[in-house]
Amino acid sequence: MRHLISPMDLSVQETEELLLLAERIMDAPKDFSHLCDGKKLATLFFEPSTRTRLSFEAAMLELGGQVLGFSSADSSSAAKGETVSDTARVVSCYADIIAMRHPIEGAAAAAAAKATVPVINAGDGGHHHPTQTLTDLLTIHRWKGGLRNLTVGLCGDLKYGRTVHSLIKAMCRYEGVRFLLVSPPELRVPDYIREDLTAGSFPFQEVERLEDAMDQVDILYMTRVQRERFASEADYLRLKDSYILDTAKMKLAKEDMIVLHPLPRVNEIAPQVDNDPRARYFEQALCGKYVRMALILKLLGLARPSLPEAAAPQPQIIPSLSCGNPKCITAVQPGLPHLFHPVEGNAHLCRCAYCDHTCGGK
Ligand code: NCD
């Protein structure tokens, strides 16, 4: 049984196969309309969502399956204190596959460890959002003709934006990709992402002004400042309008660049930019439905299997070590096994298997 918790859970080859399957579905959706007859998807959303939840549900319905679930933590037993592990185990009795969104980092990994059906991470706090990444990759694939040799500008809240973290992890695997990370100093990418970029010697540059990146990028990935993840409202208010993409800035960009945004947007893209042919964020939202159809088929074993891949490295239990991230699921669900991965190149450090936080003292 396979889960999708991080974008790295799919190999490059599997990711490419998935994108091709999504394009086949896009071209001939009727050929796929009964493949999930009799199957059920549970959408367990402990955090608000429009696109992700509805595109998952539309995906399952268009495959002939059915959907059940909840769209807020208040309407589930989480309000009574149930752990995500127990919820996942119970829902496995009622559905064939689970898509789960949760505000705590690592919650999807904790759910997957106890579920008896495939679990898809539909966003775990400020950590990962792998199905948004598949959506982004499909959009890039369609409008840029491939995933290699691209300069990707990511702009806005790179600290808390989980879509940014997942997209960087995934795009690092393609040749010739370069990142321009545009953010205020307070909202730079977290250490686990910067460490990966540095360790892999991936070309990246951190800049503060969007104008300094505009003429270089092939893809401009705008993001919302993630109000709900800030400890202080005053900090949010100070940073929320750090970047506004408008028609004047668009004039600085290449003619064939594309603008993406996972949406929802708040202020960071002026509505006039929607009329620019380079704005692709609404097509991106549509790609999300097709790629989720492909993913459901793959995880339910209904898509043609790929060649066997090398097994993913397994985390190690280290009872004496605890994750120091207060936003990690291990901080709110203390019974979870203390699972860690070694950090490449530093024998003294480990990385929490739930939230990726780097911890010392191995
Ligand atoms: C994103 C998310 O939830 O992380 N939205 C989405 O799923 N399309 C981005 C965001 O909320 O800013």
Q: Residues 4, 131: contact at Cβ < 8 Å?
A: yes
Spatial separation of the C-alpha atoms in residues 330 and 338, rounded to whole Å:
8
Domain assignments of the chain as residue spans, ordered by start: 7-129+286-299, 131-280, 316-360
**pTM of the complete model:** 0.94
The reply to whether ligand 1 has any atom less than 6 angstroms from the CB of 156 is: no
Q: Nearest to residue 302, comparing CAs of 116, 12, 37, 92? A: 37
Q: Residues 71, 16: contact at Cβ < 8 Å?
A: no
Distances from the Cα of 253 to the Cαs of 150, 208, 210, 246, 298, in angstroms? 14, 17, 11, 11, 37
The reply to whether ligand 1 has any atom less than 6 angstroms from the CB of 132 is: yes
Give the pLDDT confidence score for residue 76 in this predicted structure: 79
Give the pLDDT confidence score for residue 280 in this predicted structure: 98
131-280 shares the fold of 7-129+286-299: yes
Give the pLDDT confidence score for residue 306 in this predicted structure: 56
Substitution site in 132, 159, 283 for ligand 1 pocket (most atoms within 8 Å of beta carbon): 132
Give the pLDDT confidence score for residue 311 in this predicted structure: 67
Substitution site in 45, 57, 129, 166 for ligand 1 pocket (most atoms within 8 Å of beta carbon): 129
Distances from the Cα of 257 to the Cαs of 20, 225, 243, in angstroms? 22, 23, 18
Distances from the Cα of 170 to the Cαs of 87, 174, 245, in angstroms? 29, 8, 25
The reply to whether ligand 1 has any atom less than 6 angstroms from the CB of 292 is: no
Give the pLDDT confidence score for residue 361 in this predicted structure: 59
The reply to whether ligand 1 has any atom less than 6 angstroms from the CB of 163 is: yes
Q: Nearest to residue 176, comparing CAs of 130, 218, 222? A: 218
Give the pLDDT confidence score for residue 354 in this predicted structure: 97
The reply to whether ligand 1 has any atom less than 6 angstroms from the CB of 262 is: yes
> How many angstroms is it from 67 CA to the middle of ligand 1?
21
> How many angstroms is it from 309 CA to the middle of ligand 1?
30
Give the pLDDT confidence score for residue 247 in this predicted structure: 98
Give the pLDDT confidence score for residue 77 in this predicted structure: 79
Give the pLDDT confidence score for residue 360 in this predicted structure: 79
Ligand 1: atom nearest CA of 263 is 8
The parts of the chain modelled with pLDDT lower than 50 are: 362
For domain 131-280, give the CATH number: 3.40.50.1370
Spatial separation of the C-alpha atoms in residues 42 and 101, rounded to whole Å:
11
The reply to whether ligand 1 has any atom less than 6 angstroms from the CB of 125 is: no
Substitution site in 187, 222, 263 for ligand 1 pocket (most atoms within 8 Å of beta carbon): 263
The reply to whether ligand 1 has any atom less than 6 angstroms from the CB of 224 is: yes
Query: Which residue is closest in CA terms to ligand 1's atom 1?
Result: 262
Strands (E) located in the chain: 40-45, 66-70, 97-102, 119-124, 151-155, 178-182, 204-207, 219-222, 258-260, 316-317, 339-343, 346-352, 358-359
Spatial separation of the C-alpha atoms in residues 60 and 40, rounded to whole Å:
8
Q: Nearest to residue 97, comparing CAs of 293, 355, 359? A: 293
Residue 251 CB-density burial (10 A; 0-12 exposed, 13-18 middle, 19+ buried): exposed
For domain 7-129+286-299, give the CATH number: 3.40.50.1370
Give the pLDDT confidence score for residue 308 in this predicted structure: 58
Residue 200 CB-density burial (10 A; 0-12 exposed, 13-18 middle, 19+ buried): exposed
Kind of pairing between the strands at 40-45 and 119-124: unpaired
Give the pLDDT confidence score for residue 309 in this predicted structure: 59
Q: Is 132 helix (H, G, I), strand (E, B) or coil?
A: helix
Q: Residues 106, 340: contact at Cβ < 8 Å?
A: no
Ligand 1: atom nearest CA of 129 is 4
The reply to whether ligand 1 has any atom less than 6 angstroms from the CB of 102 is: no
Q: In this structure, which amino acid lies at residue 189?
A: V
